[in-house]
Amino acid sequence: MIIADEVRSALEDGRGVVALESTIISHGLPTESSARVARQIEHAVRGSGAVPATIAVVDGQVRIGLDDAGLERIATDPVVVKSSIRDLGNVCAAGLTGATTVASTAYLAHRAGIRVFATGGLGGVHRGAAHSFDESADLPALASVPIALVCAGVKSILDVGATLERLETLSVELVGYGTSRFPGFYIQDSGYAVPWVARSADEVAAVLRARDGLGLPQALVVANPIADGKEMPRDLHDATLASGLEALAAQGITGKDVTPFLLAWFHEHTHGVSLQANIDLVLGNAQVAGEVACALTR
């Protein structure tokens, strides 16, 4: 595991550090914009006074903090492997380049001593999971990694209600950031409530400290809705989701390809509307994560 110099010195000096995942860059956004967005996400973390650490596997080596060439490679190289926890052994042993998911990023960030992590939307229970058993490895990973994850809820392509039930079963603590409603990724309100509300970065930091004091091993999910005026129009969202799910079934897509397929479907079929929402929500999460990381140092 190679920790970038800037990240290592920030950790040693007790400054705020935010982990960032790389699958959103390689598989979640169109290639034309992904390098630019990856830089914007890091910029948003810096804007809050924290140091970004984008995590990926480059030529078989885990990197905690990517330089610009690494970021560009993850964004544009078509052979980059979507790497969840169970892929890490093979990707590293074969010297491959892999983009880490929420699950593997959380695991690696925690090993590096990072306390706060930002992504777009958490993975979860897929629609039809009662038959397919398709539940993201993000959920069990968060049950065993004590990190704060700032996200815009779970992706709306999922079964949100079932995902919330699983988060409860797995004892993953959940707070709404300035809201009592669980966000729906592209939209502010998924239709479900959250059990707890945090009104500021300092309140989130207080929850984290309390959890640390008790030695709780699970993650804290900080659900931060997309900003006012930035969410996708509801009817466009619902129609695109319906057609995307039909295409998914018709083409027989399964396993780790499901989420990238549906995200790409949205980006293509909304002519950039979902892409802009995805960018806006992840930048908002990066900013809040930076504020939480700094609040933890106070």
Pick between residue 8 and residue 155 the one whose CB is nearest to ligand PSU: 155
Candidates 155, 231, 256, 291; catalytic one: 155
Q: 16: closest CA among 287, 295, 289, 294? A: 294
CB of 92 to Mn ion, least distance (A): 22
| Per CB under 5 A, 134 contacts Mn ion | yes
Instruction: Specify burial of residue 162 (Cβ count, 10 A radius: 0-12, 13-18, 19+).
Output: middle
Residue 224 contact among Mn ion, ligand PSU, none, beta carbon within 5 to 8 Å by kind: none
CA distances from 78 to 27, 71, 165, 258 (A): 10, 13, 36, 17
149 touches, from Mn ion, ligand PSU, none (C-beta below 5 to 8 Å by class): none
If contact means CB under 5 to 8 A according to the sort of partner, which of Mn ion, ligand PSU, none does residue 138 touch?
A: ligand PSU
> Of 170 and 227, which has the nearer Cβ to Mn ion?
170
Residue with tokens 């967005």: 37
Q: Say how far apart CA 254 and CA 61 lie, in whole Å.
A: 28
Rounded-to-integer distance, Cα 42 and Cα 99, Å: 16
CA proximity to 290, closest of 146, 118, 65: 118
Looking at the DSSP bridge assignments, the partners of residue 52 are: 18
| Backbone CA torsion sign across 205, 140, 136, 61 | positive
Nearer to ligand PSU, 102 or 283 (CB): 102
Asked if residue 234 lies in contact with residue 292, where contact means CB atoms within 8 angstroms, the answer is no
In angstroms, give the least distance from the CB of 162 to ligand PSU: 13
The nearer residue to ligand PSU, 48 or 119, going by C-beta atoms, is: 119
Shortest spacing between CB 136 and Mn ion, in angstroms? 5
155 is catalytic: yes
Cite the annotated binding site for substrate by residue number: 82, 102, 136-138
Which of 21, 42, 231, 291 is catalytic? The answer is 21
Of the pair 117, 173, the CB lying nearest ligand PSU is at 117
Residue 21 falls in the annotated catalytic set: yes
Closest-by-Cβ residue to Mn ion is 134
Stretch near Mn ion under the rule CB under 5 A, chosen from 102-110, 131-139, 182-190, 278-286: 131-139
CB of 51 to ligand PSU, least distance (A): 21
What SS3 class is residue 121?
coil
Q: Which two tokens stand for residue 127?
A: 């629609």
Binding positions for Mn(2+): 134
| Residues at the site binding Mn ion, with contacts judged by CB under 5 A | 134
Q: Known catalytic residues?
A: 21, 155
